[in-house]
Structure 1
Amino acid sequence: MNLTATLIGQVIVFGVLVWFVRQFLWEPILHVLDDRKRRIADGLAAAERGHHEKELADRRAKEVIRDAREQASGIINLAHKRADEIVEESKKNARIEGERLITAAHFEIEQEADRAREQLRKEVLKIVLVGVEQVLMREVDLRVHNEIFEKLASKL
């Protein structure tokens, strides 16, 4: 076989192949490559957007956590303040109740003292009446009267 004829045959086959590819396959291959290039670019853009959105979400999450901590701190401070108010109110109520009990005890003591005075007055009156009766029963004698009054005074 002749080397030139083979080489010419291969060049013709290669030319037909190039024409065929250019005529029927070149546009679809370019279209597929462009489509793939566009999809890759879209994927990279989506990845970049996703990364950016993740950063934004992280920032928002940090802000929400910070706000939640501030709110929790505020609620805790408010609870402590309310607890202090309740304690102070309880102390105030206890003082008022104590004062009321002391006042009631003083009143009761005064009533008991009044009853004791009244009872004592009645006893003194009885003793005086007994003494007067004894004085009137006896003759009027200064020495005897003084003895009676001394006995009465000792009974008081």
Structure 2
Amino acid sequence: MNLNLSMWYQAGVFFILALVTAKFIWPPVIGAIDERMKRIADGLAAADKGKAEMQAAEKRVQAQLAAASEEGKTHINNAEKRAALIIEEARNTAAAEAARIIAAAKADADNQVTKAREELRDQVATLAVKGAEQILKREINASAHADLLNQLKTEL
């Protein structure tokens, strides 16, 4: 076998194999690699987009938490104001009720004092009449001397 001829056959087979590989094998492999690169790039873009959306969502959540916190503080302040108002209203109501009870008690006491004075006047008038009766040693007619007894009551 001739070394030159063998090399030419090997070179020819190599070129034929290179042409067949370049024509039939290489394009599908490059297509698969390109498709895989595109899927990887799409996945990375989707991951970046997901990260951006997650950060935006976290910002929205933080904003909503801050708003909810402010709203909660507002509700607490309103409740505290309402409680203070209710307490003040209860104090005012209690003070008014106490004043009313005191006024009623004073009026009742005044009525009892007046009633006691009237009873005392009646008793003094009766005692005065009995004393005068004993002094005069005769009976005084209460109906006949009603004007005199009334005058005596008013003087007492």
Q: TM-score range by the shorter chain?
A: 0.7 to 0.9
1:97 counterpart letter in structure 2: E
SS at match of 1:88: helix
Displacement of 1:104 after TM fit? 1.2
What does residue 107 of structure 2 align with?
107
TM-score scaled by length of structure 1: 0.81
What does residue 92 of structure 1 align with?
92
Aligned length: 139
Q: In the TM superposition, what whole-angstrom CA distance separates every residue of 1:7-40 from its partner, at most 9, and x where no partner exists?
A: 3333222212211112212221222122112112
CA distance in 1, matches of 2:5, 2:46: 56
Alpha carbon RMSD of aligned pairs, Å?
Answer: 1.8
Alignment of 1:58-69 (within 5 A): 58-69=58-69
What does residue 34 of structure 1 align with?
34
- Unpaired segments ≥5 residues, structure 2: 139-155
Displacement of 1:2 after TM fit? 4.4
CA distance in 1, matches of 2:9, 2:134: 177
What does residue 8 of structure 1 align with?
8
CA distance in 2, matches of 1:71, 1:5: 94
Alignment of 1:1-156 (within 5 A): 2-137=2-137
Displacement of 1:99 after TM fit? 0.8
2:91 counterpart letter in structure 1: K
CA distance in 2, matches of 1:82, 1:61: 31
CA distance in 1, matches of 2:36, 2:18: 23
CA distance in 1, matches of 2:108, 2:100: 12
Structure 1 runs (4+) deviating above 6 angstroms are: none
1:74 counterpart letter in structure 2: T
Identity %: 39
My pick for the range that moved more, 8-17 or 107-116, is 8-17
TM-score scaled by length of structure 2: 0.81
Displacement of 1:43 after TM fit? 1.2
